[in-house]
Structure 1
């Protein structure tokens, strides 16, 4: 769902990219049919795309705010990505003066890496690439200033976007022109890309940790007791009540760390003067209380089932 065009030359690098992102959901067979028609170029406009998706029972969300280009060091990075069931596939082009590299990643693992010195690189689906290539061949004149190439690429993106909904009508154009010879360019690219992939790896690790934490929190929230017995009173001192948890109840803090396992004691508080050792403590209608007379109890812990 992208079109990225990069020019790399002796004077610098310029990249242009659309900002379209499309998400869709539905029957796999119909999804494949829709993609075949979309990438084959038989669907020409957003309206046709939405109408055809509706015919096939596919839910579609189109946005035009994705950032596919980024300045990294003295390079520009362009990226297209595809989310699979297990991992995200990324294809990146890094460009600078007198050099570029194309990287293919699965997750944060490098699957291929190729280098070049100059030229025009195009990322996108086959239909969008073919249209862009024809337009470049037709429109490209002798001058190859970075400004001229940037304006040319933007014109091409506009024309391609009028022929396929896979390319949006909003664009970014970035330019970098450091003073590198061919050897310096590849050295800088190597350092920049290695660091950028390390940043991606760290981000993915942090994201994985967050997802694990969120999953654990969801699991624990589902275990919060809102009805039933939690334990029995084993000691009373003034308004302080010590309760021994039963064999199905544990006490957690606000970070979901266990404070007391089943069978252990926890501290609660009461305003009733009628609490006795042996009284059963229950939760009814999400209220913590004594079973015998519904006297309210308070605590600063979360009571969960195992």
Structure 2
């Protein structure tokens, strides 16, 4: 659902991209029908797209705020991506003066890497690409400045967007003009791309860790005890009580790390002067208390079931 047009040459690099992103949800067979009609060009505007999706029972969300272009040092990166059930597939072009590289990524693993020194490169679905190629042939002049090329690309994207919902009418245009010969360009691209992929790997690792932590928090939160037996008092020291947990209870800290397991002792506090060893400790109506007289207790731990 993207269209990126890039020029790379001795003058520098200019890229233009739309900002459209479309999310789908619905029956796979009907979704395939909708995509076939969309990519064949039989649906030519957003209103008809929404109407046809509704007829097929497909829920769609259209946004025009995706940033598909990014400047990284002396390089411009353009990216189109497709989210699968397990991994995101990315296709990237990195361009600078006198050089570009096209990278195919599955997750953060590089599947292919191709280099070139110049030309016009187009990323997009076949229908949008064919329209863009026809318009470029009509408008292109090699003597044009980078800025003027950017204006031409912007106009082409807007015209394509008027004929297919796969491309949005909000456009980004970026330029870079460092002084590189072909050899220096590829060396610079190698360093830039290797670092950028390392950043992606680190991002994915951090994301995975956050998701694991979130899943842990959800799991542990569901185990927090709001009602039931906790254990019994086994020792008393003033207002401090040592409570032995029963065989179904554990104590954890705010990071869900276990501090005490079944049969182990935890520290609790009370204002009551009527506590004896052997007294049962319970949670009733989400309040921690002694079972015999409902005297309130407090602690700085989280009590969970196993």
Normalised by the length of structure 2, the TM-score is 0.98
Distance in 2, matches of 1:149 and 1:291, equals 80
Q: Does the alignment pair 1:60 with 2:60? A: yes
1:1-306 equivalence runs, <5 A: 1-306=1-306
TM-superposed deviation, 1:142: 4.7
Q: Unpaired segments of 5 or more residues in structure 2?
A: none
CA distance in 2, matches of 1:269, 1:62: 56
Q: Determine helix, strand or coil for the equivalent of 1:278.
A: coil
The CA distance in 2 between the partners of 1:144 and 1:109, in whole Å, is 38
CA-to-partner distance for each residue in 1:5-47, whole Å, 9 max, x for gaps?
0001111000000011111211111111111111221111111
Change (3 A) 1:142 1:93: closer
User: Which segment drifts farther, 269-278 or 175-184?
Assistant: 269-278
- Within 2, Cα distance between the matches of 1:280 and 1:209? 39
Work out the CA distance in 1 between the residues paired with 2:180 and 2:201.
28
Q: Deviations over 1:138-186 (max 9, x none)?
A: 2223533101110000000000100111111111000001011111111
2-side partners of 1:192 and 1:213: how far apart? 32
Which moved further from structure 2: 53-62 or 138-147? Answer: 138-147
Give the gaps of 5 or more residues in structure 1: none
Stretches (4+) displaced over 6 A: none
Alignment partners' CA distance in 1, 2:78 and 2:53: 29
Distance 1:51 1:255 in 2: 48
Matches of 1:41 and 1:268, distance apart in 2: 70
* Residues 195-236 of structure 1: CA deviation (Å, up to 9, x unaligned): 111111111111111111111111111111111111011112
1:142–1:73 CA distance, 2 compared to 1 (3 A):
closer
Query: Bigger shift: 134-143 or 99-108?
Result: 134-143
Q: SS of the residue aligned with 1:15?
A: strand
**Residues 53-74 of structure 1: CA distance to partner in whole angstroms, max 9, x if unpaired?**
1111211111111110001121
Task: Tell me the matched-pair count.
Answer: 306
Counterparts of 1:199 and 1:42, CA distance in 2: 40
Tell me the SS of whatever aligns to 1:104: strand
